[in-house]
Chains A and B, each alone.
Chain A
Amino acid sequence: MRTPSRQAGDEAELIDRARKGDSEAFGVLVERYQRRVANVAFAVVHNQDDAIELAQETFVRAYENLSKFESRSSFSTWLYRIAANLAIDFWRREGRHVVLRGEDAENELQRLPTEKGDSFKAASRKELSGRLSQALEELTPEHRAVILLREVEGLSYDEISEVLQCPRGTVMSRLHYARNRMRGLLKDLGQDEGG
């Protein structure tokens, strides 16, 4: 059975082999972390295609910089840090807020899970999800990153601090701000739609 400590040992061996040029070993690491890395990128840029592209770039950068990885932090945290930095840089460089509208919004909402049976509940969920997406767009990438890394990826404050390279206190204050802002935005959006 693969215990966490055993997996860590396997991982150290894979990293070591990858450092020596064994791309197959690196491929195993890609498979293991691709989903979480893509989710971290998506947490910031909130665009599916961009998130996948950034996640691929994350692994390429990680491969190029394997010699710089020090085992004092976990490999996954190191990967998330690269992904978060790339995503934040990308979002800033684009200089725009990507707000889902029209067909893009419709496509995104259709992918979301809906409750079967009760059409009224389904409609409410769809509305709420739309409002959540819109509220997330209103946050800066740093605030969006902390709230999604915490709520969706389940990272601890210390892990988030390491990924985003900021003090734990900053993580706490950004999270507080993001939650409050989301709360306010959701209330405003609900009032706008409800009339």
Chain B
Amino acid sequence: MMAETDHLSLMLGPFEDRELEPHEYQEVAFHLARCEQCTAELADYTQIGRELRTLNLELPLEGFKEAVMQRIENLPVPFTLRLRRMFGGIGELFPSNLGIAVASAVAAAITVILVTPYAQTVTNRSGTSHEIARVERDLATAPAVTTQNARTELARDVAQVEEEPQAVISKLESDIPSVAVWNEPRMDTTVIWLPDQQ
């Protein structure tokens, strides 16, 4: 009975709000006829709703629209809209196909100007290949790395990664003398502990 009442209690609000499935209305109505507790609960919900509606304040909105439009007026005009207006103005002077040609030429010019620094880097590829050849030569003359050294190096790298802090603290000031700082890498967390001085 308690479980049934709890379950139906959840349906009282939707019953009042007309948000139940058709078959559920009958179930709730039948229960309400037998349960004073739920009937009282529903009556309270109805009363609360009624009172909330009378509580509704009339917000003073004089000048609201003007304030909004003023804020919109002060917004920066989006670049695309500015472009559209610019070419729209030009389009009025010339035939539309010429306007499209002009727009395409401008886009091409902008692309060339922006890409040119990177194009120059690509054409200097011969410098990179000289660098690679030098590094390979250096590696060939380097001393041989033994297995033992490699294992030691790897162990050191792993330890370093595990100790790597989640946050990097560059400054920490506190009047509390016993401040503690530590990392919890498995929790992706850094902790600063400031015990109160009692």
Direct contact of A and B (CB under 8 A): yes
Q: Is the CB of B64 within 8 A of A147?
A: no
Complex CA gap A64/B73 in Å reads 11
Interface size class of A (residues with CB under 8 A): 35 or more
B41 surroundings in chain A (CB, below 8 A)? 183
The yes or no answer to A148 lying at the interface (CB within 8 A) is yes
Q: Is the CB of A108 within 8 A of B13?
A: no
B145 surroundings in chain A (CB, below 8 A)? none
The yes or no answer to B86 lying at the interface (CB within 8 A) is no
Q: Is the CB of A34 within 8 A of B10?
A: no
Given contacts A132-B52, A157-B14, A183-B48, contact A64 B75 (CB under 8 A): yes
The yes or no answer to A194 lying at the interface (CB within 8 A) is no
Q: Is the CB of A112 within 8 A of B69?
A: no
A147 surroundings in chain B (CB, below 8 A)? 52
Q: Is the CB of B13 within 8 A of A179?
A: yes
Q: Is the CB of B54 within 8 A of A23?
A: no
Binds B, one of A55-63, A70-78, A79-87: A55-63
B27 to chain A: closest CB distance in Å? 16
Complex CA gap A32/B52 in Å reads 24
The yes or no answer to B53 lying at the interface (CB within 8 A) is yes
A156 surroundings in chain B (CB, below 8 A)? 19
The yes or no answer to B44 lying at the interface (CB within 8 A) is yes
Q: Is the CB of A152 within 8 A of B52?
A: yes
The yes or no answer to B146 lying at the interface (CB within 8 A) is no
Binds A, one of B30-38, B55-63, B95-103, B154-162: B55-63
The yes or no answer to B49 lying at the interface (CB within 8 A) is yes
Complex CA gap A152/B69 in Å reads 28
The yes or no answer to A167 lying at the interface (CB within 8 A) is no
A34 surroundings in chain B (CB, below 8 A)? 61, 64-65, 68
The yes or no answer to A21 lying at the interface (CB within 8 A) is yes
User: Which residue in chain A gives the minimum CB-CB distance to B69?
Assistant: A27
The yes or no answer to B92 lying at the interface (CB within 8 A) is no
Given contacts A151-B52, A183-B48, contact A42 B59 (CB under 8 A): yes
Complex CA gap A99/B19 in Å reads 33
A189 surroundings in chain B (CB, below 8 A)? none
Q: Using an 8 Å CB-CB cutoff, how does the interface string of B49-90 with A read, 1 for contact, 0 for none?
A: 101111111111100110111011101000001000000000
Q: Is the CB of B48 within 8 A of A51?
A: no
The yes or no answer to A35 lying at the interface (CB within 8 A) is yes
Given contacts A38-B59, A64-B75, contact A132 B51 (CB under 8 A): yes
User: Which residue in chain A gives the minimum CB-CB distance to B70?
Assistant: A56
Q: Using an 8 Å CB-CB cutoff, how does the interface string of A165-186 with B read, 1 for contact, 0 for none?
A: 0000000110110010011001
Q: Is the CB of A27 within 8 A of B56?
A: no
The yes or no answer to B182 lying at the interface (CB within 8 A) is no
With A52-B61, A129-B54 known, 12 other A-B pairs at CB within 8 A are: A21-B81, A39-B56, A48-B60, A63-B75, A112-B54, A128-B51, A129-B55, A147-B52, A150-B49, A152-B53, A172-B14, A183-B44
A-B contact pairs, 10 of them (CB 8 A): A23-B69, A35-B59, A38-B61, A42-B57, A51-B59, A59-B72, A63-B72, A112-B57, A132-B51, A151-B53
8 tightest Cβ-Cβ pairs between the two chains A and B: A151-B49, A151-B52, A59-B68, A30-B65, A38-B59, A157-B19, A183-B44, A60-B71
